[in-house]
Each structure stands twice: as C-alpha cells, then as structure tokens.
A and B are shown apart, each in its own frame.
Chain A
C-alpha cells in the first residue's frame, strides 16, 4: 500500500515537472540585436528564438509573459524570468495548449486568448500562476475563419475586457479579394465580427449572447489599449488591401501604397468607424466611400457621419500593438503618450514596403498634441522587403521600461532610458 502511494506521488511529481518544465531554452543570448532610438535610450535583448511571439505582458516582478501563435514544444504561453538580474531571461516556464495573440495582466490575473476563446489565470502573491493547466474560460465561441482571426484584448478598471473580433474578409465583397466583386450592403459580417466586443472579466463561458458589441465598423484591430488617464478605449485599425490592384483608374501605384490610412481611433460605446463602407483617403484627407460601394475618391455619403480617427498613418503598415506610456523612467514628453508597433506592410508592392518600427504619438489628456515620430527602428535589417524582425507586441515594465516583441524570429527587447 505504502509502495503504491510512493509510486503515485513519484508519478505525480514527474508529470508535474513536465507541466512545469522550467527549461532554460532562451539562455545564453549570443549577441544583442541593436535598435535605433533617440539619444539616451538603449535596448537589451531579453530573449531570442522563442517562437511566434505575438503580444506580451510584464508582471510587477519583472516576469515577461509571451503569447505564441505557434506552439513551442506543445505550449502557447511563455513566462520568461531573469533569475540573476542581468536583464536576460534565463528561466522559461511554458503552459497553455493553444495558439493566439492576446495577453494582458490586470488585478492579479493573467488573461490570454486563442483565436476563439479568452482564458484567465490567477497569479499568486509570489508571482506564480496558480493553475497553469486549468484556467478559467471566460469567453468562448468567437468567429475564427483564419483571416484576421487574432483576438487581441485589453481591460478597463470596471471589470470589463475588450476583445477584437476581426472581419474574416478584406472589404465585405460578395467574393472576398476578387476584383470587380461588389460590397455587400448591409455587410452581414458586422453582426459577429468587424468590431470590439465587451465581456465581463469574472463570468465564465460568455458567448456573443452575453457580450456587448462595443464598437463596430472596424476591419481588423490587433493593437488596442485602455487609456486610464481619460478612461476610454483606443485602438488601431488595419486598413483594407488592394486599392491599386482593383482600382488602378482611381489609385496609381503610389496612391495604392499610401492608402487607405491606418487609423488611430478613440472609441466610445456604440462607435461606428465605417468599415467596410468607408476608408480614410490620405491624399484627400477625408473619410470616403469605398469603391466596392460606389466610391470614386470624391463621394463621402454615409462616411461623413462615421467616427473620425485621431491620427492617420500611411497605408498597409499593420499596427499590431498600442500602449499608453504611464511610466516615470522616460522623459516627460512620453508620459501618457502612445507607442504603436507597426508589424510592416506587404500590400505596398510594387512600391517598397514600410513600417517595421515603433512610433510615438505625443498626447495630452487623451488627445494627440504633436506629430507622430519613429521611436525605435532597425527591425527590418538591410532589406525592407524581407524584414528580419517584425514588431508585434508592446508592454511596460513596473520600472517604466518598454518591452517589444517580434513574431518573425521570436525576439524580446527591453528599452530603457538613462539620459
């Protein structure tokens, strides 16, 4: 009997050690991947080759949580820990059996998403995940048709979580991405996608029935953040593709590369940002009717009444992360401003690609108060058309450092300011 118990305990211990595999996969780091930044800033490569590192979250103890879009030895979340204080992660815990993009920490919980569901894990006082293999499933059954499937998320201070449900289409044509196919009107996709849904953080198994469509008319949002200074949701929309290819009579090669704008929105409950009917034309400086809906680069029609964006960026640069900086480490001008990680373009072909950098938007009281500027660059390497690193996630450490993730090679950087 005793032997059986010992055997059982031994087996449990072995399986536990598998679940809690703390293998140092990221150490040692052979070289630093340097970034170009303003004077006074420097970066250190916290980890390399961790996989498809999408969004990241940094706990108050310095642990970096990474959501992976491809399983790493069967797991989809990494906890990177620096045990010797040299700034480089030397201890990796892997858990979660699903791939995805969204991850965030709020009030003692870690939130993470697959492309259909949202989970949360309690973090104990020592910074350990309490039940890494038994999270609470708080949202389930979200649309996943592969295109624009990532469910990025952010949280407010009133017990709500905001989840992006991207539209599984380019511009809601009858035949997706097919030249000449008209846009569907009304667009049926908007009922279950193409917007931000609000759920409760502490209710299990919520579906569309329990969720609130908080903002609509958004093609795909990967970067979103709650602004605690003004208590509002902000987000970055990925604009539509193929204007030059489908409408060369309206958009020449350059105009097709620069349009539509990648738009930065401040949204309220009920906001309609206009997709698929409207796009923001960077040359005309206006929200105009999409050609699939009869647009000719002049007609505004219903677009005049849609939510206006607060900043417009050049086309196709793919904003994948948004973060309001609230730390005290960086100089005053960065306080409450927005960092945006651009994953980089593909639909600017045959023009050169663009993006592959982190920009900064100076803001005051939730409103931009200056021109946007490139903050961190050099991710693409020598050939902008075949980028080496692709910025995808942003997070702020407790000490005010800024973390950046790359989902091409699996790199995590920590950016600090020393003046």
Chain B
C-alpha cells in the first residue's frame, strides 16, 4: 500500500517535471537566470533607493526583503503589494512596523518587469523561492481592476 502511494507520488513528481520542461520557467534553468538578470536591473533602478543594496531595508521605515514571509510566502499578496503599493505601517516584522508608504508600480512597471524583479528578490540576498511568472502578475492585475 505504502509502496503504491510512493509510486504514485514519484509519478506525479516526474509528470510535474515533464510539464515544466515544456515551459520557459524551469527552476534553476536559463529562464531563471535571464529573469534574474532583468530583475536585478529593475531592482537597482526602482527598489534599491529604499530597500538598499543589501535588501535589508531601513529600520522601521522601509522593510527588509530578506528571509521574510512577505517575500517568500504568498505570491499573490506579494504581487499585489508591488502593483498597488502600501500606505505605510502594514508590514510588521519581528515586532517592528515599517512606516514609509510604498508607491504603486502598476503604471510604472510591466507584468514581465514585476515578475522579473520579484523572481530576482526571491532568489537573491540569501532568499530561495520559486519564480514569479508574467502570467501570475497578469492574473493579479486583472483581479485588482
């Protein structure tokens, strides 16, 4: 019974990988590298002034982007924050709140730019998490309007 279950899981994983191999967002592959390279540029131009070159932010003003649930957790919430921005004070990490507002990026960045920069942040500065795809950003943008 147990062996059967494992076999099913293994098959499912294999199927999953097979599925991925047909898309561009293969984890660890060239798609990730390309997205991160583009995302780094977006980070440096748009995000770095507040979140800083090491992504550790500014104490109680601009939140850190390193090893926090806000970055590594729910992708939908993360994408929405970038699209819609924040008033300031919503983010609490280890008992400290971050007071500066974040300007909405929905009119400033394309879906692909947002996907790239989030993929970059989720896989840099000691972070490790799945890619964010253009399709995922597009879906959140539709929900927001």
Q: Do A and B share a complex?
A: yes
Cβ of B56 under 8 Å from chain A: yes
From 380 to 398 in chain A, residues with beta carbon under 8 angstroms from any chain B beta carbon are 385-386, 390
List of B residues within 8 angstroms of A179 by Cβ? 103, 108
Cβ of B42 under 8 Å from chain A: no
Which residue of B is nearest A347, CB measured?
Answer: B49
**When the two chains form the complex, which single residue of A70, A147, A408 contacts B100, counting CB atoms closer than 8 Å?**
A147
Q: How far is the CB of A152 from chain B (nearest CB, A)?
A: 15
Contact B88 A147 (CB under 8 A): yes
State whether A346 and B96 are in contact (beta carbons under 8 Å apart), knowing that A176-B101, A386-B54 are contacts in the complex: no
Cβ of B61 under 8 Å from chain A: yes
Cβ of A146 under 8 Å from chain B: yes
List of B residues within 8 angstroms of A245 by Cβ? 49
Which residue of B is nearest A242, CB measured?
Answer: B49
Q: How far is the CB of A175 from chain B (nearest CB, A)?
A: 7
Cβ of A145 under 8 Å from chain B: yes
Contact A385 B53 (CB under 8 A): yes
- Looking at chain A's contact residues, is the secondary structure mostly helix, strand, loop, or mixed? loop
Q: How far is the CB of B67 from chain A (nearest CB, A)?
A: 16
Q: How far is the CB of A148 from chain B (nearest CB, A)?
A: 8
List of A residues within 8 angstroms of B52 by Cβ? 346, 349, 385
Cβ of B95 under 8 Å from chain A: yes
Q: How far is the CB of A67 from chain B (nearest CB, A)?
A: 15
Q: How far is the CB of A257 from chain B (nearest CB, A)?
A: 11
Which residue of A is nearest B96, CB measured?
Answer: A70
Contact B54 A346 (CB under 8 A): no
Q: How far is the CB of A146 from chain B (nearest CB, A)?
A: 4
From 242 to 276 in chain A, residues with beta carbon under 8 angstroms from any chain B beta carbon are 242, 244-245
Residue interface mask B107-119, A partner, CB < 8 A = 1: 0100000000000
B interface vs A, CB < 8 Å?
44, 48-50, 52-54, 56, 58-62, 87-89, 95-97, 99-104, 108
New contact pairs (16) apart from A175-B103, A346-B52, A349-B49, CB-CB < 8 Å: A52-B60, A69-B60, A147-B100, A176-B101, A177-B100, A177-B101, A177-B103, A178-B104, A179-B103, A242-B49, A346-B50, A347-B49, A349-B48, A349-B52, A385-B52, A408-B59
What are 14 pairs between A and B in contact, CB < 8 Å? A70-B96, A145-B88, A146-B87, A146-B88, A146-B99, A147-B99, A178-B103, A178-B104, A179-B103, A242-B49, A349-B48, A385-B52, A385-B53, A386-B56
